[in-house]
Structure 1
Amino acid sequence: MHVTLAEELMLLSLDDKSGVAKAGTTAGWAVAGGFLADLALAGRVVVDDGRLTVTDRTPTGEPLLDGRLDRLAEWAERKGAGKAKPAEWLAKDQPTAIRDTVQRLCERGLVVEERHRALGLFPVRRYPEADGSVERALRARLAAVVLDGAEPDVRTATLIALLHTARLYKVAFPEQPRKQVEPRFAEIAEGDWAGESVGQAIRNMQAAVAAIAAVTIATTAATTVIT
């Protein structure tokens, strides 16, 4: 089953049993960045010199990405030529990024939605694992690259770069000390693993995510509940 980068980030972030999003707000920035990264890899957007441009509005065939692509194109058009900034789009997209991504994971049957009332009053939604096969394959792929030194493909390197940018080492490797995995994350994130245009787009997008996530990390608790 092919899933998007946003979905992979979400699978790593959700606790399998409780369905609670670990590092929820910070993960939300990474998920929003995952949408942009996938659209860049698909040749639909370019991020250059701090500017975001939609170069192709042709649908990708993935509803989760195509909905983002349409909204992004309309937003960029309203902003005007050369005025759409990645950080502004991420700030606009982040509030709904997690919600839309977990809904898609539910549609795929990878997680299931459970509704509760906190203190008997406040509605809370959680998303425990329903089918762990995709996440297991994902974690095995990350372990092969980060722990065993395998060469990453472009998508895996992009995912690792997003995790590194948002400092989400623990959601990827909860049992490994950060100091043991961070150097490999940094090596991959800074490597030349994509073509010139795509690599530049991802690096620009990383910079935007990093700037926003740094503030979030400093002010947000490590665990939140999706509501």
Structure 2
Amino acid sequence: MSHTLAEEYLLLILDDESGKPLLDASSLHTAIAAAALTDLVYDGALEITESDGPVKKGRFARTGRAEPTDPLRLEILEKAHGRKPKDAVSAIGGMFSWSDRAKTLKEQLLERLAGEGVLEQQESKILGIFTSTRWTPGEVDVEREIRDRVRAVLVDGAEPDRHTATLISLLQATRVVRKVFPDADRTVIDQRAKNIAASDWAGTAVRQVIDEATAVMVTTYT
């Protein structure tokens, strides 16, 4: 059972006890937007242009290949086309976006993971009025493999594949590495994550997407 970068990121940043994310909603949605764009790049549906043409240099362009069949992912692809990475991230998941597609995608992914038995949705009432939703581990343990794979790179010094390097870069960008691995040596995992994020393990285009997502989050809180 394979999962997208966005799904793996979600599984890691959900606290197993509280069933809540380890970061604020705005940063989470920005990260989901970056992950969704990266997944489209990896699928071959999206690329960053290297020279001026129908789409200006340094902007996202649809390749016409591997078009997603999911309506929401197709909408994200369409929103990204012709935009700079930073603008695409903001349009899809920024807090100032008129249509926060990342929030909708997050909810869709959570429901899909619950349908696979990976997560369990639990709802409760606050003051008998407001509904609170928790997403706790289900019977199908997918998170363990993801966590072990990332830990092997951050703690044991294993060489990451492209997917794992991207996942670590996203964790680093959203400053949750320590929260995801609270029992590990903070100095070691922080430095390892920074080194991976600064390298080209994930590829130049993907690194640019994550760097731009980080810039969006910094701009939001400054």
With the length of structure 2 as denominator, give the TM-score of the two structures.
Answer: 0.82
Match of residue 211 from structure 1: 215
Of stretches 2-11 and 44-53 in structure 1, the one that deviates more from structure 2 is 44-53
Q: 1:154 aligns with which of 142, 153, 162?
A: 162
CA distance in 1, matches of 2:176, 2:60: 25
> Does residue 86 in structure 1 map to residue 94 in structure 2?
no
- Measure how far apart 1:132 and its partner are: 5.5
Match of residue 169 from structure 1: 177
With the length of structure 1 as denominator, give the TM-score of the two structures.
Answer: 0.80
CA distance in 2, matches of 1:8, 1:156: 10
- Measure how far apart 1:121 and its partner are: 1.2
> Does residue 51 in structure 1 map to residue 59 in structure 2?
yes
Q: 1:47 to 1:56 in 2, by over 3 A?
A: same
CA distance in 2, matches of 1:83, 1:128: 36
Match of residue 20 from structure 1: 20
CA distance in 2, matches of 1:162, 1:41: 15
Task: Give the percent of matched residue pairs that are identical in Structure 1 and Structure 2.
Answer: 34
CA distance in 2, matches of 1:96, 1:132: 24
Larger relative helix fraction: 1
Match of residue 104 from structure 1: 112
CA distance in 2, matches of 1:146, 1:83: 31
Contact 1:166/1:209 (CA < 8 Å) preserved in 2?
no
Relative contact order: is structure 1 or structure 2 higher (C-alpha 8 Å, sep ≥ 6)?
Answer: 1
RMSD, matched Cα: 2.4
Q: Equivalent residue of 2:136, what SS?
A: coil
CA distance in 2, matches of 1:58, 1:212: 28
Deviations 1:150-175 (A, max 9, x none): 11111001111111111121343122
- Measure how far apart 1:177 and its partner are: 4.8
Q: Which runs of 5+ in 1 are unaligned?
A: 220-227
Q: Which amino acid aligns with 1:2?
A: S
Match of residue 54 from structure 2: none
- Measure how far apart 1:144 and its partner are: 0.8
- Measure how far apart 1:94 and its partner are: 2.8
Q: Equivalent residue of 1:133, what SS?
A: coil
CA distance in 1, matches of 2:176, 2:28: 7
Q: 1:185 to 1:68 in 2, by over 3 A?
A: farther
Of stretches 48-57 and 201-210 in structure 1, the one that deviates more from structure 2 is 48-57
Contact 2:118/2:140 (CA < 8 Å) preserved in 1?
yes
Match of residue 43 from structure 2: 42
CA distance in 2, matches of 1:171, 1:73: 31
Deviations 1:29-59 (A, max 9, x none): 2222111111111111113555222213534
Match of residue 3 from structure 1: 3
Contact 1:90/1:209 (CA < 8 Å) preserved in 2?
no
CA distance in 1, matches of 2:46, 2:122: 35
Q: 1:114 to 1:45 in 2, by over 3 A?
A: same
Q: Equivalent residue of 2:152, what SS?
A: helix
Aligned length: 207
Q: Equivalent residue of 1:53, what SS?
A: strand
Contact 1:166/1:214 (CA < 8 Å) preserved in 2?
no
